[in-house]
C-alpha cells in the first residue's frame, strides 16, 4: 500500500500495523513552518546514529529530492534510500532503519541506523583447531560476508542474495567464484532457494533441508561449518557456499563422503601428517560403524575365527552375564548415546558428576555387578572414540544409525548378515548424489585428480589441477620453475 501525504496518518498506520508494539518510537518535529515525522524501532536501532543523522542534516526548507540528495552527500557511512509503500517500510524498520516522512510528500526517506545486535568475531567453539585461523562466523550477515571477502579479494567472488521467509525475510546469500564454480549448479541452487515458500528461516539447517529434500539417506550431503577459512578453501575448489542471516553456520555444496574425513587444519599441516590423519579418520569411520556388529557376529555365530587365547578369554569374561551378547551391546550403545546427549547440554558445573556416573558407575560397577562383560565396555569405548573424530554432527548421527542397523543384522544372521549389511551400506553410499556429483567421488567413480586433492593431501606445488567434477576451470596453479624459492 502506498504511503499517504499526511505524516500523522503514516505514523498511525505503521503503529497499528504492529499493534502499537512497545519498541516503536515516533516523533513529529516542527521547524520553520515545515513538519517532519520519523519512526524507528528502538530495539534494533542505535540512538547515537539517529540523533547524529537528524541533527547534522535536517534542513526543512529543502524539497524532498533536495533533502534526499543532501542527506546522501552528508552521511557517508549509512545506507540511504527512498521508499513509498508500507510493506517495505516495515522491513526497513525491523532491519534497524529510521524512516523519515516529510509533509506533503508521498515518499519516505529510510536511513540505516542499526545497532550491532551480535557478539563479536570469536574463536570457533564447535570446530576448534590447533593451527590455523581461529575466527568464526557470527550471527551478523555483513560480518560473515566480510570474513569471506577479506580472504578472497577477487572481483569474481559473487554473493547472490535471495530473501527467504514470508515473515522473517531472511537474507540468504549464495556465494561462489564465478570463473571457478560450475555456474549452472549455482543457478540451480539459487532457483531451489527461490522456490522455498515458508514462514521463516532461522538457520542454515532450514535451507539444507530444502536442498536435500529428495534424499532419503541419513548421510549429510552438505558440509556445515562455522569457519570462514573452510568456506574459502571450498570456494577455491569450485564449491558453492550458502550464507544465511542470523546464523554462524554456513553450508557448502556439494558435500561428498571424502569431505567429511577432512579436518579444517589439514590444509595447514605438513602434507604427510595430514594424509596420515585422513587415513586414520577413514579407519575410524569403519571402526565406529562395524566394531560392535563384528563383535556380536563373532561371539554368537562364528567363534571359529577368533584366536584360541582370545576366544577363551572372551568366553570366560562373558560367563555369568545374563543378557545375550547383542542385547548387552545394544544396551551399552544406547547408554553411551544418552551420556553424550546429557553431556552436550549440561552446564560445565555438572560435568564432574557426569564423569563419575559415566566412568565409575557405568563402567566398573556394571562389570562387577555382572550386567556386562568387560570386553563390551572396551568395544563401546573404541566405537565411541572413533565416532568422535568427525567434525560434522550429521556424520556422527549417520554413523550412529548405521551402527545399530549393523548390530541388528549381525544379531539375526551372524557374519552373513554382517556382510550383507556391508553390501547394502556401500550400495546406499554409492547411490547418493549431491547436486549431480556421486557421493563416493573420487573413489567411485575414480578420479586421480580428486584422489590427490581430497583423499591424499599432496604438496601444494603438486596440486596444479582442480577436481573436474567440481569445476570446469581446472587450472589451480600455473607451475613456474623460475619462481621456486630454493633455486
Partner 1 sequence: MKKIIFLASLILLLGGCYDYKELNDYAIATGMAIDYENNEYEVSMLIANSPKSSGSESSSEFQTVVYSGKGKTIYKAIKDIGLISPKELYIGHLSIIILSESAAKNGLVKSLDFLLEEPKSKKNFYIALAKGNKAKDVLSITTPLTDFPSQTLADNLKSTHYLQGAVVSVDFNTLMYQLVNPGINPVLNGFKIYGNEKAGAKSSNIETNLPKAHVQLSNLGIFKDDKFITWANKNESRGINIINDKIAELYIQLDCDGGYIVIDTENFKTKRTINSKGNVTINSSSAGLINEVTCDIDLTKQSNIDKIEKQAENKVKKFIKAGINLAKQNKTDLFGIGLKYYQEYPEKYQEIKNWNEYFQQIKFNIKVNIDLNHTGSIQQSLQRRVNEKGN
Positions touching partner 1 (CB under 8 A) are 299-301, 303-304, 308-309, 311-321, 324-325, 367, 373-374, 411-414
User: Prior bond to 254 cis, omega within 30?
Assistant: yes
Beta-carbon contacts of 391 under 8 Å, excluding residues fewer than 6 positions away, are 126, 127, 225, 260, 263, 264
Cell numbers given for 362: 557405568
Of the pair 363, 374, the CB lying nearest partner 1 is at: 374
Report the chain's C-alpha Rg in angstroms. 29
Cβ nearer to partner 1, comparing 174 with 296: 296
**Phi-psi bin for 346: left (phi > 0), alpha (psi -120 to 50), beta?**
beta
**Residue burial 261-296, b: 16+ Cβ < 10 Å; e: rest:** bbbbbbbebebeebbebbeebeebbebbbbbbbbbb
Smallest distance from the beta carbon of 411 to partner 1, in angstroms?
7
- Pick between residue 19 and residue 216 the one whose CB is nearest to partner 1: 216
Q: How far is the CB of 374 from partner 1 (least distance, A)?
A: 7
Q: Which C-beta is closer to partner 1: that of 28 or that of 300?
A: 300
Q: Least distance in Å: CB of 424 to partner 1?
A: 10
CB 251 within 8 A of CB 204: yes
Nearer to partner 1, 82 or 300 (CB): 300
Kindly state the smallest distance separating residue 304's Cβ from partner 1, in Å: 4
Cβ distance to partner 1 smaller for residue 107 or 317: 317
DSSP state string for 396-431: HHHHHHHHHHHHHHHHHHHHHHHHHHHHHHHHHHHH
Nearer to partner 1, 354 or 381 (CB): 381
Smallest gap from Cβ 315 to partner 1, in A, equals: 4
Closest CB 368 distance from partner 1, rounded Å? 8
Please name which of 156, 160, 159 lies closest in space to residue 146, comparing C-alpha atoms: 159
d(CA 113, CA 46): 6
Integer CA distances (angstroms), 133 to 120, 148, 175, 264, 267, in order: 16, 13, 20, 10, 11
Distance, in Å, from the CA atom of 353 to the CA atom of 30, rounded to the nearest integer, reads 66
Grid coordinates representing 311?
Answer: 576366544
- Least separation in angstroms between CB 188 and partner 1: 28
Amino acid at each position: 500500500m502506498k504511503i499517504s501525504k499526511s505524516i500523522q496518518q503514516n505514523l498511525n498506520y505503521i503503529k497499528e500495523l504492529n499493534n502499537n508494539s512497545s519498541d516503536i518510537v515516533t516523533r513529529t518535529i516542527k521547524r520553520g513552518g515545515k513538519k517532519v515525522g520519523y519512526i524507528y524501532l528502538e530495539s534494533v536501532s542505535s540512538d547515537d546514529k539517529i540523533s547524529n543523522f537528524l541533527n547534522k542534516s535536517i534542513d526543512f526548507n529543502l524539497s524532498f529530492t533536495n533533502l534526499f540528495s543532501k542527506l546522501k552527500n552528508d552521511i557517508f557511512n549509512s545506507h540511504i534510500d527512498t521508499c513509498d509503500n508500507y510493506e517495505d517500510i516495515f522491513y526497513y524498520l525491523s532491519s534497524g532503519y529510521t524512516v523519515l516522512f516529510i509533509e506533503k510528500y508521498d515518499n519516505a526517506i529510510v536511513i540505516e541506523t542499526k545497532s550491532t545486535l551480535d557478539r563479536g568475531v570469536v574463536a570457533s567453539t564447535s570446530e576448534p583447531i590447533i593451527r590455523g585461523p581461529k575466527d568464526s562466523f557470527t550471527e551478523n550477515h555483513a560480518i560473515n560476508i566480510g570474513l569471506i571477502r577479506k580472504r578472497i579479494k577477487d572481483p569474481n567472488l559473487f554473493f547472490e542474495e535471495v530473501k527467504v521467509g514470508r515473515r522473517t525475510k531472511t537474507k540468504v546469500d549464495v556465494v561462489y567464484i564465478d570463473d571457478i564454480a560450475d555456474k549452472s549448479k549455482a543457478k540451480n541452487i539459487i532457483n531451489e532457494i527461490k522456490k522455498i515458500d515458508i514462514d521463516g528461516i532461522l538457520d542454515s539447517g532450514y535451507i539444507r533441508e530444502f536442498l536435500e529434500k529428495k534424499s532419503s539417506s541419513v548421510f549429510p550431503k552438505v558440509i556445515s561449518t562455522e569457519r570462514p577459512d573452510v568456506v574459502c578453501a571450498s570456494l577455491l575448489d569450485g564449491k558453492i557456499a550458502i550464507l544465511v542471516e542470523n546464523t554462524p553456520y554456513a553450508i557448502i555444496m556439494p558435500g561428498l563422503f571424502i569431505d567429511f574425513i577432512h579436518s579444517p587444519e589439514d590444509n595447514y599441516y605438513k602434507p604427510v601428517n595430514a594424509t596420515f590423519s585422513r587415513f586414520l579418520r577413514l579407519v575410524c569411520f569403519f571402526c565406529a560403524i562395524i566394531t560392535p556388529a563384528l563383535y556380536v557376529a563373532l561371539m554368537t555365530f562364528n567363534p571359529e575365527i577368533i584366536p584360541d587365547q582370545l576366544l577363551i578369554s572372551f568366553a570366560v569374561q562373558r560367563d555369568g552375564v545374563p543378557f545375550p551378547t547383542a542385547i548387552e551391546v545394544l544396551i551399552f550403545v544406547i547408554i553411551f548415546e544418552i551420556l553424550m546427549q546429557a553431556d552436550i547440554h549440561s552446564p560445565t558445573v555438572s560435568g564432574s558428576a557426569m564423569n563419575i556416573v559415566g566412568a565409575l558407575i557405568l563402567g566398573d560397577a556394571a562389570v562387577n555387578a555382572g550386567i556386562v562383560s568387560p570386553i563390551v565396555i572396551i568395544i563401546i569405548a573404541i566405537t565411541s572414540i572413533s565416532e568422535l573424530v568427525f567434525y560434522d554432527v550429521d556424520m556422527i548421527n549417520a554413523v550412529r544409525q548405521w551402527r545399530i542397523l549393523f548390530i541388528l543384522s549381525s544379531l539375526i544372521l551372524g557374519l552373513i548378515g554382517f556382510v550383507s549389511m556391508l553390501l547394502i551400506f556401500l550400495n546406499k553410499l554409492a547411490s547418493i548424489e549431491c547436486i549431480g556429483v556421486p557421493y563416493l567421488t573420487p573413489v567411485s567413480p575414480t578420479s586421480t585428480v580428486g584422489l590427490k586433492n581430497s583423499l591424499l593431501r599432496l604438496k601444494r606445488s603438486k596440486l596444479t589441477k582442480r577436481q573436474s567434477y567440481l569445476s570446469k576451470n581446472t587450472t589451480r596453479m600455473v607451475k613456474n620453475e623460475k619462481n621456486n624459492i630454493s633455486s
